[in-house]
Amino acid sequence: MSKSSRWERLEALFDQALELPAAERVGWVRMQSWNDPALGDEVLAMLTAHDGQEGVLDRAPPSLLDTGGDLTGLAEALADKYVLEEPLGQGGMGSVFRAYERKHDRRVVIKVLRPEVSLLFGADRFKTEVELAARLSHPHILGLIDSGDADGYLYYVMPFVGGETLRTRINRLGRLDVGEATVLLRDLADALAHAHAAGVIHRDIKPENVLCVGGHAFLMDFGIARLASAMSRRTGVGIVLGTPGYMSPEQQNGDAFDHRTDIYSFGLVAREALLGKPDEAVGFASRPEVPPPLTSLITSCLDADPARRPSTASAVVGALDELAAPLVTTPMPVLKAMPRRWPWIVLAILAVVALLVVYFSTRPGKLDPASLAMPVVAAPLRNETGDSALGMIGRLASDWITQGLQQTGRMVVVSWPAAMDAADRAAATGASLLETLRTETQAQTAVTGSYFLVDNSLRLQAQVLDATTGSVLGAVSPVEVPRDSIQRGVRMLRDRVMGLLAVRTDERLRDVPGMLERPPTYEAYRAFDRGIRLYNAQDYGEAARVLRESWSLDTTFLVPLVYAATAAWNRGQFATTDSLVKVLRARQNSLSEYFDLNVAYLEHLLAGEGDKAYQVVRHAATLAPGSRAPYNAARLALLTNRPSEALTLLTTMDPDRGLMRGWQSYWTQLSHALHLTGDHERELTAMREMRRRYPDSRVAIVLEARALAALGRHEALDSLLAATEALPPDTYWSQAAVLVTVAEEFAAHKTGVPAPYQARAIRWLANQLAHNPQHRAHRYWMGSAHYDSGRWRDAEPYFSSLAKEFPDQIDFVGLNAVIVARLRDSTAAFAALGAAAPYERGTWAAYRARILAISGDTPQAIDLLSSALLQSVNGWPWWHASALRDLGLMAQDSRYQRLMRGE
């Protein structure tokens, strides 16, 4: 065979093989080349290369800069702010360096665009895009710290978090563990959901743009892909942006596209992470341990038709949550059990989930479809006035109530004409109204009522019935108006019916005793709903304001006031709590027993009677197991040194149901309970779950770090600490908070050396305080870091100034007093501590105990601490470590040891 004809055969075999389905190619080529196996080998090697990873031809040719230029100019131009340390790699767009940021004393990553790319982007355009991306702040987005133009090079700066790209990890491991991949993918989908909500599409999601640090993933390079594609269009000069292999079909074809292009690319990345290859031909069949719902989710992301992909990244997050969380108890039986046709079913479910997300995110509360059978019909009210001239009122009321129920957006409502038709038919045939409504309109629930005259007033009443059994599901209090104010009366009645049904369909309130007996007006309910949402988001200030407004809209509705009082307590506004509790006490007889106990609980707290408050709230918890009372009981158990009781309470609660759903603090208390009972493995598992559920939560990072420190897991700890460097510094639970906490835990559990962490915290804080010397939290952590290191004099200025500026904060005053005890004596320290408000007496007494421990009076210190704990000590779950310097002085005392074991 001549050379040229051999090559022609090679070309032909390769071309034809590519036309075949991937699975058939090898067999076909072998068969075609049976008489020339070497030729077959060569074609197969080409096919492998064709499907394989990107190679030299997929990148831009090496820039001339790289083959000879040096970066002295760049380094000089950046020298004011950054010191270039080490090149990390080369991409299609430019070079990546690790660098040191002088101002914040930290490592950063600087990406420098190739000069020709810089030139084509233009500094202005670059700035616009980069700033857009910089607005994104999310724990799984590697945001931008800085950007600019140095010596003609455009550059941008990201936090240095270590780790490796997903590309490197896949290359290293071949493919990812299914569980690990699920968590990483969840991080990515979550990052995307955040970006999409902010109107930013990434456009260039690929393993190279995903940074893996420990078990978590960060998405980077937002805004850059957009610049590059805009530039290519404008100039016709192609900049090779990695492989086009990760683009959605619509993006590749240059069609219009939206955020779903990212969902497609996400699907490709997900498949590659799990299968190790980007190749479509490598099916999920090759890895049977990937759970079918996951393969199905990924397959749906990869649908060529964007409309058939999950419509939002949030829906993907939700679906991944279902997979990742064995703790989630909400059953999705269809997902778990369907053997075959389920890709379609999952798609349908995803679509519905997405719809629900979109729909209900704009609606109050959460719908509990099981609580009220749909549809609901509002029948005309029966005219019992004896005056046929008033006959229209019943029909008017039906119309208005129908409209009102539709407005709530929470239920399926039979249209008014259909309701009228059924009512007329019942009147004509003499059949039962309820039964006719049910058969004619399929209604499962009916609002019925009547109106009559009392002297010169019109009285309207209504109730909600089960349309099948006729049993009363709830009634609203009657409305009475002057005869000439009929419309106002009908409006009021409508409002009450709406309030009743809204409460009835709100799963958060179903478990709250008393709500259904005395439903609020709909206006009041709406304000209440807003208030509760703020409360659940722990925005207690705004919650208290809105809840009081709710009460003012319907002063018979006292529940919001109980919440407002609790919100005020949570904010430390004890005087406000006190006055709200007094208002509630004046109306005591109109509160249900459950809320009455809640008020008593607040009263005991205000009086500093932690022990009694605990008994009361435990009682409330047994009355209403689905309410927040068990949580409050657990919290108080922790503050009164009963960690095992707290643990029992918390583990019997379901964090996925009712009021605990979305209640982040549940996990904080769980962390304390597990930590104080010494079950650090479970503690760690729980905190990882908390972080998975609340990726935005800063305290979750601190709590995970605390568990890791107690276990002495130094490597995982460092990975976590690296992740904190990516987060904005300006918060209470800052990087320093993590470092100080870790050091304290090391000291308390003897699992590590605290000093380096303290030193790191101090260095970081010094930098922050140099720019923002008044930052309260930074000063607090600085004082703590010094105190924990035994440097009383260094800690003193921080605590004394905080105590002076915030004399109402018992912890600042207390810490200052402890410092005085260290530097002077106990008499001066007690003077510095001063007197305490009644509701802070426990915490105050605990600080006195610390002072006594410092002065060596162990027996009295332990007596005082024991009685302080009966009253409750704020922050007690942290004290075994944060107050170790002082309380640890009594470590040899057996009474102290028993106390600290929670006995």
Partner 1 sequence: MTPPPTTSGEVSRLLDQLRGGDREALDRLFPLVYQELRQAADRVLRREMKGHTLQPTALVHEAYLKLAGGPIGSENRAHFLGIAARAMRQVLVDHARRRRAAKRGGGDAAVSLSDADGAIDVQSDELLALDEALNRLAGESDRLRQVVELRFFGGLTEEEIATTMGVTTRTIQRDWVKARAWLHKELASGRGP
Active site positions, annotated? 204
Q: Report whether 513 contacts 624 (CB < 8 A).
A: yes
Contact status: 484 vs partner 1 (CB under 8 A): no
Residues in CB range of 361: below 8 A, 6 or more apart: none
Distance in Å, CB of 108 to partner 1, minimum = 17
Out of 49, 281, 454, 891, point to the residue binding partner 1 (CB under 8 A): 49
Residues in CB range of 50: below 8 A, 6 or more apart: 18
Taking the least distance from each CB to partner 1, the nearer of 119 and 891 is 119
Helix H, strand E, coil C: the string for 500-564 is HHHHHCEHHHHCCCCCCCCCCCHHHHHHHHHHHHHHHCCCHHHHHHHHHHHHHHCCCCCHHHHHH
Distance in Å, CB of 316 to partner 1, minimum = 32
Distance in Å, CB of 68 to partner 1, minimum = 5
Q: Is the dihedral of CA 301, 305, 306, 309 positive or negative?
A: negative
Adjacency order of strands within the sheet including 82-90: 82-90, 94-101, 106-113, 153-159, 146-150
Distance in Å, CB of 20 to partner 1, minimum = 14
Coil, strand or helix at 642: coil
Taking the least distance from each CB to partner 1, the nearer of 231 and 883 is 231
Contact status: 118 vs partner 1 (CB under 8 A): yes
Query: What is the β-pairing status of strands 164-165 and 210-213?
Result: antiparallel
Contact status: 627 vs partner 1 (CB under 8 A): no
Distance in Å, CB of 796 to partner 1, minimum = 45
Taking the least distance from each CB to partner 1, the nearer of 68 and 199 is 68
Q: What is the dihedral of CA 252, 254, 258, 262, to 10 degrees?
A: 20
Taking the least distance from each CB to partner 1, the nearer of 90 and 801 is 90
Q: Number of residues in contact with partner 1, rule: CB under 8 A?
A: 51
Out of 119, 427, 537, 891, point to the residue binding partner 1 (CB under 8 A): 119
Distance in Å, CB of 62 to partner 1, minimum = 4
Contact status: 90 vs partner 1 (CB under 8 A): yes
Longest dimension (CA), the chain: 115
d(CA 855, CA 821): 7
Could you tell me which of 56, 127, 120, 72 has the C-alpha nearest to residue 93? 120
Distance in Å, CB of 247 to partner 1, minimum = 16
Cα angle for residues 162, 166, 171 (degrees, 5° grid): 110
| Category of 858 on φ-ψ map: left (φ > 0), alpha (ψ -120 to 50) or beta | alpha
Taking the least distance from each CB to partner 1, the nearer of 123 and 332 is 123
Q: Report whether 184 contacts 196 (CB < 8 A).
A: no
Taking the least distance from each CB to partner 1, the nearer of 157 and 546 is 157
Out of 1, 20, 23, 45, point to the residue binding partner 1 (CB under 8 A): 45
Return the range that interacts with partner 1 (CB under 8 A); candidates 127-135, 151-159, 675-683, 801-809: 151-159
Distance in Å, CB of 122 to partner 1, minimum = 12
Peptide bond into 375 cis (omega under 30): yes
Helical H segments across 806-854, by residue range = 810-823, 826-833, 841-854
d(CA 584, CA 562): 7
Contact status: 89 vs partner 1 (CB under 8 A): yes
Taking the least distance from each CB to partner 1, the nearer of 279 and 542 is 279
Long-range contacts of 629-632 (CB under 8 A, 24+ apart): 629/594, 629/597, 629/598, 631/659, 631/660, 631/663, 631/665, 631/666, 631/669, 632/601
d(CA 497, CA 478): 10
Distance in Å, CB of 19 to partner 1, minimum = 11
Out of 36, 105, 146, 151, point to the residue binding partner 1 (CB under 8 A): 151
Distance in Å, CB of 10 to partner 1, minimum = 8
Helix H, strand E, coil C: the string for 452-510 is EEECCEEEEEEEEEECCCCCEEEECCCEEEEHHHHHHHHHHHHHHHHHHHHHHCEHHHH
Return the range that interacts with partner 1 (CB under 8 A); candidates 108-116, 521-529, 861-869, 881-889: 108-116
Taking the least distance from each CB to partner 1, the nearer of 4 and 35 is 4
Coil, strand or helix at 451: strand
Gyration radius (Cα) of the chain, Å: 33
Distance in Å, CB of 127 to partner 1, minimum = 16
Q: Report whether 693 contacts 699 (CB < 8 A).
A: no
How many alpha carbons fall within 13 Å on the CB side of residue 366?
15
- List C-alpha distances in Å: 324 to 119, 181, 298, 328, 688: 46, 10, 15, 9, 12
d(CA 10, CA 54): 22
Out of 105, 116, 435, 857, point to the residue binding partner 1 (CB under 8 A): 116
Could you tell me which of 757, 681, 689, 767 has the C-alpha nearest to residue 721? 757
Residues 223-252 close enough to bind partner 1 by CB under 8 A: 236-239
Taking the least distance from each CB to partner 1, the nearer of 67 and 469 is 67
Taking the least distance from each CB to partner 1, the nearer of 123 and 884 is 123
Q: Report whether 743 contacts 761 (CB < 8 A).
A: yes
Return the range that interacts with partner 1 (CB under 8 A); candidates 43-51, 477-485, 622-630, 665-673: 43-51
Distance in Å, CB of 111 to partner 1, minimum = 14
Taking the least distance from each CB to partner 1, the nearer of 235 and 555 is 235
Residue with tokens 């007494």: 845
Taking the least distance from each CB to partner 1, the nearer of 66 and 903 is 66
Out of 39, 108, 115, 554, point to the residue binding partner 1 (CB under 8 A): 115
Contact status: 71 vs partner 1 (CB under 8 A): yes
Query: What is the β-pairing status of strands 216-219 and 153-159?
Result: unpaired
Provide the mask over 1-40, with x wherever binding to partner 1 is found by CB under 8 A and - wherever it is not.
--x---x---x--xx--x----------------------
Residues 777-796 close enough to bind partner 1 by CB under 8 A: none
Residues 50-69 close enough to bind partner 1 by CB under 8 A: 50, 52, 55-58, 60-69
| Category of 385 on φ-ψ map: left (φ > 0), alpha (ψ -120 to 50) or beta | alpha
Residues in CB range of 820: below 8 A, 6 or more apart: 828, 829, 831, 832
Distance in Å, CB of 51 to partner 1, minimum = 9
Cα angle for residues 570, 576, 582 (degrees, 5° grid): 110
What length is written for the chain?
Answer: 903
Taking the least distance from each CB to partner 1, the nearer of 96 and 828 is 96
What are the residues binding partner 1 (CB under 8 A)? 3, 7, 11, 14-15, 18, 42, 45-50, 52, 55-58, 60-73, 86-87, 89-90, 95, 114-120, 151-153, 236-239
